[in-house]
Amino acid sequence: AQILDAVKRYGKCAPLRTGAIVGGAPYPAQEKLLREKLDILVATPGRLIDHMERGRVDFSRVELLVLDEADRMLDMGFIEPVELISKATPNTRQTLLFSATLEGKVLSLAQRLLKNPARIQVARTQEKHAYITQHIHQADDVRHKRRLLNHILCTRELTQAIVFTSTKRAADDLAQDLSTDGHACAALHGDMKQSARNRTVQRLRQGSVKILVATDVAARGLDIKGVSHVINFDLPMVAEDYVHRIGRTGRGGAFGAAVSLVGPQDWGKLGGIERLTGARLERKVLPGLEPSVPEANASRPAPRRNHGHKSAAGKGGNFKGGFKPAFGKKSGSNKGRFHAPSSARSGNRRSADWRA
């Protein structure tokens, strides 16, 4: 976990006992960790809830609760576990909530969990991405996207790239195709074991992997200094994810490029991105790879065809999309061995500020 690495780095001069509880890692090792007395625990909501329901965690002495990338957690359906975790901590705790956006469900969550909060805006989206050039290439179809992608990956300016796809299978397939084409490539997605994901990220850091094909969930929070390009092979379904994606490049004051490949079905998503960022993304055309139709025609929605059938989601229909993770009953007791230090006793208060 990158946050755990940052905690260890920033707190190397302090006698802090730290640990991480994340999905995809073995349970026995985590159970052993939770029997220790930790100062800082870094965790993902789903796995932490699992341990809470088994009575392995006691939050009665927690002084500080940090919710990092709150908007991403809510997009993944973690509202319920986040609230359960919050309720398990003392009312006297301090809560810090970090989010790329603060509206809608995120704002509602903040209002429920935070008391008289001070709002700190580090940088606006435009300011935050001042070192990132952003443009799109119009594509006729997936084959056209592949040709555009291959051309971009062979440019001299590209050192390392993260290519985003919309599904895990698409990430695997595209990574395999790019490897066959001779690119030093690897996939990263949520179906991989945590150990495999860690190895892949390490290979990217070391430079043995030049191109990482990833999904949004797997790549969130990645901080790789050498990434010069972020390429959206598939545009994200949620406009806010675009902001998260392109933030993987242009880090630490370095310049970066964010390139989006826009197919016939992507114009609505692009419109949402441009409304969110408040800017029209530059259109570029590569010689020899021009789209077959102008944007005005490509972006025009196709006329609907009525074949006389009623929609399942229409009147009387009960189809509801989306995914909501299931959680078991709340345990009546959260008696575990994880204890946060009580500064009230010692009169000393430590504070840490980290971002990864």
Tell whether 276 and 175 lie within a shared domain: yes
Determine what percent of the chain is predicted with pLDDT higher than 90.
Answer: 52
Question: What value does the mean pLDDT take over residues 208-224?
Answer: 87
DSSP for 39-51, please give it: SEEEE-HHHHHHH
| CA neighbor of 238 nearest in space, from 50, 100, 65, 68 | 100
DSSP for 183-235, please give it: --EEEE-TTS-HHHHHHHHHHHHHTS--EEEE-HHHHTT---TT--EEEESS-
Tell whether 80 and 64 lie within a shared domain: yes
Tell whether 113 and 130 lie within a shared domain: no
| Sign of the four-CA dihedral 77, 54, 59, 44 | negative
Tell whether 238 and 129 lie within a shared domain: yes
Residue range of the domain that includes 153: 125-296
| Residue 61 located in a structural domain | yes
| Residue 309 located in a structural domain | no
| Residue 80 located in a structural domain | yes
The amino acid sitting at 191 is: D
The amino acid sitting at 14 is: A
* Residues 42-57 pLDDT 10s: 999 999 999 999 999 9
* Residues 226-280 pLDDT 10s: 899 999 999 999 888 898 899 899 887 789 999 999 999 999 999 999 998 889 9
Tell whether 263 and 274 lie within a shared domain: yes
Tell whether 252 and 130 lie within a shared domain: yes
| 96-107 CB burial, b ≥16 within 10 A, e <16 | ebebbbeeeebe
pLDDT of residue 300: 59
CATH number of domain containing 274: 3.40.50.300
With beta carbons less than 8 A apart as the criterion, state whether 192 and 218 touch: yes
* Residues 76-130 pLDDT 10s: 888 899 999 999 999 999 999 998 778 888 889 999 999 889 988 876 555 567 7
| CA neighbor of 331 nearest in space, from 51, 115, 76 | 51
| Residue 166 located in a structural domain | yes
DSSP 333: -
pLDDT of residue 194: 82
Can you give the C-alpha Rg of the chain in angstroms? 23
* Overall domain count for the chain: 2
Tell whether 102 and 143 lie within a shared domain: no
With beta carbons less than 8 A apart as the criterion, state whether 47 and 71 touch: no
* Residues 297-348 pLDDT 10s: 666 555 554 544 444 444 444 434 443 444 444 444 444 444 444 443 344 4
Tell whether 16 and 139 lie within a shared domain: no
DSSP for 172-187, please give it: HHHHHHHHHTT--EEE
| Residue 327 located in a structural domain | no
pLDDT of residue 344: 39
| Residue 323 located in a structural domain | no
| Residue 71 located in a structural domain | yes
Question: What is the token pair recorded at 152?
Answer: 């971009």
Tell whether 148 and 82 lie within a shared domain: no
The CA distance from 162 to 266, in Å, is 20
Q: Does residue 157 carry a pLDDT above 80?
A: yes
Task: Count the helices and strands in the chain (H runs, E runs).
Answer: 15, 11
| Highest mean pLDDT (candidates 69-78, 155-164, 319-328) | 155-164
| CA neighbor of 262 nearest in space, from 241, 291, 224 | 291
Tell whether 190 and 290 lie within a shared domain: yes
Tell whether 23 and 91 lie within a shared domain: yes
| Residue 82 located in a structural domain | yes
pLDDT of residue 331: 44
Tell whether 205 and 292 lie within a shared domain: yes
